[in-house]
Amino acid sequence: MIVNVEKCMHCGACVGSCPQNAIYLNDVVLEFTDDCNCCGRCVRACPVGALKLEVKK
Amino acid sequence: MKLKYDVVVVGAGPAGSLTARHAAEGGATVLMIEKKPEIGAPLRCAEGVSKEGLKKVGIKADRSWISADVSGARIVSPGGKVLQIDEKQAGNEVGVVLERHRFDKAMAADAARAGAEIMLRTSAVDVIKKKGKVTGIKARSYGEPLTVEAGCVVCADGFESQVARWAGIDTSLKAGDITTCFQYRMVDIKHDPEFCEFIIGSMAPGGYVWIFPKGDDTANVGIGVLLSKLKKPGEVKTYLDKFIAKDDRLKCGQPVEAIAGGVSVCAPLDKCIGDGFLLVGDAARVIDPITGGGIVNGMITGMHAGKVLAKCVESNDFSEAALQDYETLWRDDLENKLWRNWMAKEKFLTLPDKTLDSVIDTLNEVGVERVTVYNLLKAIRDRHPDLVKEFEEFL
């Protein structure tokens, strides 16, 4: 998961939307844990489009 | 560092602060932690609340945290039909528009005066469990590790609702039960400062656009869209920008603040307590699924939780059985309404713009002051037979 720090507003919409509880927002730093299964819901939940799913090849 | 309290509250929003205050007033030792460096900031809210709601939780309106008084609400349908509701009938989300930066601090101050301690820039990173019972939290305070042992952990961490999930209650939401929001504080606009406005229809799929006055030429102008209706990243902001560009009252204005956030619009959780922990506020998913308002509901849960915790301290019993009183009290106040409004939300989602126009017409025909479920359904049957099919399950 890639976070565009210039767009991110640290609002936590992704955190509460994550079915895996795999996102941690420590005030300003957004971290994804190993529980992330790349479902992509946070990408749509982000009000400003700050998240991008990049599939590893 | 290691600390010990009767109660540790994670999150210093209104629900957390009311829990902390009532628990401390009842004699509990209380620590409330807040991950941000400032309580009430940044804003995550449209700030509408009813005077009736504040009264319900024993809060006296104070000029220092009220930024506007409104006389009612207007619901505007896609075709421009307007339903005007005066303050008394509008429900929990109109009456006054708050200044949350000040309001949240005032609620925390009341908790402090009751004896609760507050730590800022302190975030929970996990709960501590012993033999299946929650006995405290692990946290970081100003970057340093901190352990807090507590009889009860209060999960008041808002929409993120992570502490509850660590403790063992699944608060995760379906995409159809999440609203994603974006809001500007706009200045130099030409709205009606007397009314909170809710604009419904397909320009805000599954949600609405709101204009909540903050003064003569200032308002919170925001949008909520249901996550299940979103297709592209960043679409919510685009929806709002489009709406503003088309609205003559708003397009002349400028933003002075932009905020974003998530709101749950789900049915009530099966359980909000466990051995050594309980959930309050947005973390307990008690936001009204129709309005998306959560301040009063959150404070109701906080008030009950704090009072029950004060009793638990006397017997030094924070087991699930001892916390059952809290579950009963908040459900008595809120559960039926949350279920009903969630069902109504699910219904409204399916209605096209034209039907929404007819619904607003029907409400106007019945007369807002006479709206009861019975009157409304009768009017639908008598005057809008085309709507009967839509509301069959309610008839």
Are the C-beta atoms of A43 and A53 separated by less than 8 Å? Answer: yes
A47 contacts B180? CB cut-off 8 A: yes
Q: Say yes or no: domain A2-52 is CATH 3.30.70.20.
A: yes
Is B373 part of a structural domain of the chain? yes
Assess whether B194 and B260 both reside in one domain.
yes
Segment B264-298, tens digit of pLDDT? 999 999 999 999 999 999 999 999 999 999 999 99
Contact B239/A at CB under 8 A: no
Assess whether B283 and B389 both reside in one domain.
no
Specify the pLDDT at position B93: 60
Is B57 part of a structural domain of the chain? no
Segment B71-101, tens digit of pLDDT? 889 999 999 999 988 866 665 566 899 999 9
A54/chain B closest Cα distance in angstroms: 14
Q: What is the DSSP letter of B24?
A: H
Of B264, B290, B323, the domain-final residue: B264
**β-strands B117-119, B30-33 pairing:** parallel
Between B356 and B182, the more confident residue is: B182
Average pLDDT over residues B118-141: 97
Contact A1/B at CB under 8 A: no
Are the C-beta atoms of B340 and B346 separated by less than 8 Å? Answer: no
Distance separating alpha carbons of residues B372 and B58, to the nearest angstrom: 28
Contact A36/B at CB under 8 A: no
Q: Which residues of B touch A52 (CB under 8 A)?
A: 233
Helix (H, G, I), strand (E, B) or coil at A31: strand
Distance separating alpha carbons of residues B19 and B31, to the nearest angstrom: 11
**β-strands B66-69, B96-98 pairing:** antiparallel
Of B218, B249, B264, the domain-final residue: B264
Q: What is the DSSP string of B126-156?
A: EEEEETTEEEEEEEEETTEEEEEEEEEEEE-
Q: For residue B108, what pLDDT band results from cuts at 50, 70 and 90?
A: very high
Segment A5-56, tens digit of pLDDT? 899 999 999 999 999 999 999 878 899 999 999 999 999 999 999 999 886 6
**Chain A: residue whose CA lies nearest to B182:** A47
Specify the pLDDT at position B361: 87
Q: For residue B161, what pLDDT band results from cuts at 50, 70 and 90?
A: very high
Task: Kindly provide the ipTM of the predicted complex, given to two decimals.
Answer: 0.94
Assess whether B139 and B164 both reside in one domain.
yes
Assess whether B234 and B381 both reside in one domain.
no
Has residue B60 got a pLDDT over 80?
A: yes
**Chain B: residue whose CA lies nearest to A39:** B175
Segment B368-389, tens digit of pLDDT? 766 666 777 777 777 777 777 7
Q: Which residues of A touch B38 (CB under 8 A)?
A: none
Specify the pLDDT at position A56: 62
Specify the pLDDT at position B64: 97
Nearest to B261 among A12, A19, A51 (CB): A12
Q: By percentage, how much of chain B surpasses pLDDT 70?
A: 95
Q: For residue B134, what pLDDT band results from cuts at 50, 70 and 90?
A: very high
Q: For residue B364, what pLDDT band results from cuts at 50, 70 and 90?
A: confident
Q: Residue B383 sits in which domain range?
A: 351-394
Q: Which residues of B touch A9 (CB under 8 A)?
A: 258-260
A13 contacts B159? CB cut-off 8 A: yes
Domain count, chain B: 3
Assess whether B78 and B219 both reside in one domain.
yes
Is B203 part of a structural domain of the chain? yes
Q: Which residues of B touch A14 (CB under 8 A)?
A: 262
Assess whether B9 and B34 both reside in one domain.
yes
B181 contacts A49? CB cut-off 8 A: no
A46/chain B closest Cα distance in angstroms: 6
Radius of gyration of chain B (CA): 21
A26/chain B closest Cα distance in angstroms: 7
Is B60 part of a structural domain of the chain? no
B181 contacts A47? CB cut-off 8 A: yes
Average pLDDT, chain B: 93
- Cα torsion B11, B12, B14, B15 to 10°: value is 40
Interface mutation vs chain B, best among A46, A51, A53, most B CBs within 10 Å: A46
A49 contacts B234? CB cut-off 8 A: yes
CA B382, distance to chain mean position in Å, is 36
Average pLDDT over residues B49-54: 90
Is B91 part of a structural domain of the chain? yes
Q: Which residues of B touch A13 (CB under 8 A)?
A: 159, 180-181, 260-262
Q: What is the DSSP letter of B161?
A: -
- The encoded tokens of residue B141 equal 């305070």
B229/chain A closest Cα distance in angstroms: 10
Has residue A57 got a pLDDT over 60?
A: no
Q: By percentage, how much of chain B surpasses pLDDT 90?
A: 83
Specify the pLDDT at position B92: 56
Average pLDDT over residues B350-356: 90
Is B21 part of a structural domain of the chain? yes
Assess whether B124 and B9 both reside in one domain.
yes
Average pLDDT over residues B120-142: 97
Assess whether B183 and B155 both reside in one domain.
no
A34/chain B closest Cα distance in angstroms: 15
Helices (H), A1-57: 13-17, 41-45
Of B264, B290, B307, the domain-final residue: B264
B263/chain A closest Cα distance in angstroms: 8
